[in-house]
Amino acid sequence: MRVAGSHGQESSLQAQEKELRATSTGEIVKVFGDRACGLWEDRPGLSRLLRAVADGSVTVVRVTHEDRLARFGGGWLKHVLSVYGARLEVLHPKTLGGRDELLEDFVSLVTTFAGRLYGMRSAENRRRLLAESGQCQAGSRR
C-alpha cells in the first residue's frame, strides 16, 4: 500500500488494505505500506518488501493499482520479484494504452514535481518565518 503524503491519508491506506484483504485467497503473511512519493526509491516499506521477497518469506505481492508499488519502473520491480520466485498481482490493472497511458504518465510527473516544488517553497517559508520571529537561526534546517 502507498499514499503520496506523509500525513492525512490514513483512510486511503486503510481502504487499500481492506480491499486487498477482502480479495485475498491465500494466507496474508505481511503488510507493507509507505507514506511517500511513488518516485522515491528509498521508501522503507518498499525496502522491507524487497527484503522479504529476497529471503523467500513473501511469494505473492498484491497491490490495488500498479502505481501503488511505484509510479515508474514497475516492469523492473516485476522482474526483480520474478528473479526471487515471487509474482505481482494487481487488482485493478491499467486498461489504457498508447497515447492515453503516456498522457496519464505525463500528468503524474507534472503533479508529483509541482507538489514537491510547493512543499519546498512551504518549507522555505516556514524557516524564513521562524527565523524572522527569532525561533530558529536563518541557516538551520528543520
Domains and CATH numbers, the chain: 2-90 (3.40.50.1390), 96-142 (no CATH)
Q: What is the pTM of this model?
A: 0.66
Q: Report, as an integer, the average pLDDT of 31-43.
A: 83
The better pLDDT of the pair 62, 113 is held by 62
Q: How far apart are CA 129 and CA 110, in angstroms?
A: 28
Diameter of the chain by CA atoms?
Answer: 58
| pLDDT score for 142 | 44
Q: Report, as an integer, the average pLDDT of 38-44.
A: 81
User: Quick one: 112 exposed, middle or buried, by C-beta within 10 A (0-12, 13-18, 19+)?
Assistant: middle
